[in-house]
């Protein structure tokens, strides 16, 4: 069995008006999240992981839009129901946060094995729906990040 590497990305996809895309996990109804995914090899760059995961989970080409590495790393305990995917003894993951600004609420193509539904929500509502504290924190930081990006 090939184990997942405990290093991942979180990509908050949003519009300039702060509508945020959320995906519902297919196997865990009610678990809403932004795009997430693990690096596939020790050599894969985090940016490449973000681009790949956005394409796999939404059908969007992140290279066509503003993909920004937010320079945030979160270490969290892997939920027990997902630990079997990792090598024995691995209990924590390091997540790297990215933002992807798209011009509007774009149509998405979900990966049915991973996600069953998607929603575009105002940022506060999106944050409230997320089951992950890191995802919630990233979305709540979104207005400040956009404001800082616009500053001269």
User: If you search the block for the tokens 């995961």, which residue do you land on?
Assistant: 53
Q: Look at residue 118 and tell me whether its pLDDT is greater than 80.
A: yes
Tens-place pLDDT, residues 53-91: 999 999 999 999 999 999 999 999 998 988 999 999 999
Q: Where are the domains of the chain?
A: 7-150
- CATH 3.90.79.10 is right for the domain spanning 7-150: yes
Average pLDDT over residues 103-110: 97
Distance, in Å, from the CA atom of 4 to the CA atom of 7, rounded to the nearest integer, reads 8
Burial of 7 (0-12, 13-18, 19+ CB in 10 A): middle
Distance, in Å, from the CA atom of 123 to the CA atom of 151, rounded to the nearest integer, reads 20
Tens-place pLDDT, residues 131-148: 999 999 999 999 988 777
């Amino acid at each position: 069995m090939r184990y997942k590497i405990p290093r991942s990305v979180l990509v908050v996809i949003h519009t300039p008006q702060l509508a945020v895309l959320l995906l519902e996990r297919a196997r865990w109804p009610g678990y809403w999240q932004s795009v997430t995914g693990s690096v596939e090899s020790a050599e894969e760059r985090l940016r490449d992981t973000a681009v790949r995961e956005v394409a796999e989970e939404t059908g969007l080409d992140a290279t066509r839009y503003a993909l920004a590495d937010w320079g945030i790393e979160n270490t969290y305990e892997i939920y027990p129901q997902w630990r079997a995917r990792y090598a024995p003894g691995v209990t924590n993951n390091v997540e790297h946060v990215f933002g992807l600004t798209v011009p509007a609420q774009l149509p998405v193509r979900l990966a049915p094995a991973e996600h069953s539904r998607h929603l575009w929500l105002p940022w506060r509502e999106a944050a409230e729906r997320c089951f992950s504290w890191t995802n919630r924190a990233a979305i709540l930081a979104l207005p400040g990040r956009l404001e800082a990006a616009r500053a001269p």
